[in-house]
Amino acid sequence: MPQPYRSPLLSSLSWLDHAFLPAGERPPEESIYNHQRHSPNVVLDTEALPVKSQQADGLIGTGTRPVAVYTADCLPILIADTRHKQVAAVHAGLNGALGGVLINTLRRLCERGATPDSLMMAIGPAICPCCYELGDERIAGIQQENPHDLAGLIAFSTVQPVNRDAVRAQAKGTTGGVWFDLPLLAKRMAMREGVPEAQIELSEICTYCMAEAQASYRRNSHFDHGYQQRFSWIRRQD
């Protein structure tokens, strides 16, 4: 039975609880989450009820109910503000990240009293550069459009990285494109917003070749193995 992944960084904070759940497991019953559409929108938990009533991909928790996101290969990002004990959950695929959902969440936390150096951020299991191929035209488009001045932050390789921790076959290249590092892009975005590097943690668990079966939307598109949503949640404890 796959076990939840818990961030060592966030686990060091005694006032919160969190988990990056395996595919198919449900979050705590009282969790709040949004109708996700790869948008840049961020809302407070008080604005997000009933559950899935808002189209938003960033959710800030102001109370003690868990805030959650669901993913397949996209980034699940959990954030804690040690200054005011706020928490946040972010769903960031490539489109959402480029659209600014993480940037908007970090800035809204700071508008509510956090400071960049009071933020701690964990990026959970997601597709990693060992298995995330993008066509050259997609990279060219990102660099030309340069949303939120991110062109200098994107990371990719023309050579597929070897993941020595893979438990199943890595993705095979089909476009002759590049291998894109989405977790590193998110880390660089947070650092540009002022979050200290030591307070940003990457799980480095690839949903395609390392996580439990049915964890990856992209793997399912290649092999038709099926996939299930992976919930990640965080909350301030009483």
Residue 215 within any structural domain of the chain: yes
Average pLDDT over residues 5-28: 97
Tokens in use for 82?
Answer: 């040690």
Confirm whether 118 is domain-assigned: yes
Global model pTM greater than 0.85: yes
In a domain, 76, yes or no: yes
* Whether 108 contacts 156, CB under 8 Å: no
Q: Residue 77: left if φ>0, alpha if ψ -120 to 50, beta else—which one?
A: beta
pLDDT digits (tens, 9 = 90+) for 63-87: 999 999 999 999 999 999 999 999 9
CATH of the domain at 34: 3.60.140.10
100 in any annotated domain: yes
163 has a pLDDT exceeding 70? yes
Average the pLDDT over 145-162 and give the result.
96
For 117-142, what is the mean pLDDT? 97
Per the domain annotation, does 113 fall within a domain?
A: yes
> Is the per-residue pLDDT at 214 higher than 70?
yes
Residue 54, in any domain of the structure: yes
* Structural domain count, the chain: 1
Average pLDDT score over residue span 212-225: 90
pLDDT of residue 166: 98
Q: What percent of the chain is modeled with pLDDT above 70?
A: 100
Q: Is 157 helix (H, G, I), strand (E, B) or coil?
A: strand
Ordered alpha helix ranges (H), the chain? 8-11, 94-99, 101-111, 136-145, 182-192, 217-223
What average pLDDT does the chain have?
96
User: Is residue 208 pLDDT above 80, yes or no?
Assistant: yes
Residue from 72, 78, 64, 69 nearest 11 by CA: 78
User: What is the band of 1 on the pLDDT scale with cuts at 50, 70, 90?
Assistant: low
What pLDDT is stored for residue 190 in this prediction?
98
The answer to whether residue 132 sits within a structural domain is: no
Structural domain of 31 = 8-126+194-236
Residue 189: C-alpha distances to residues 72, 97, 192 (Å): 21, 9, 5
**Position 173 in a domain:** no
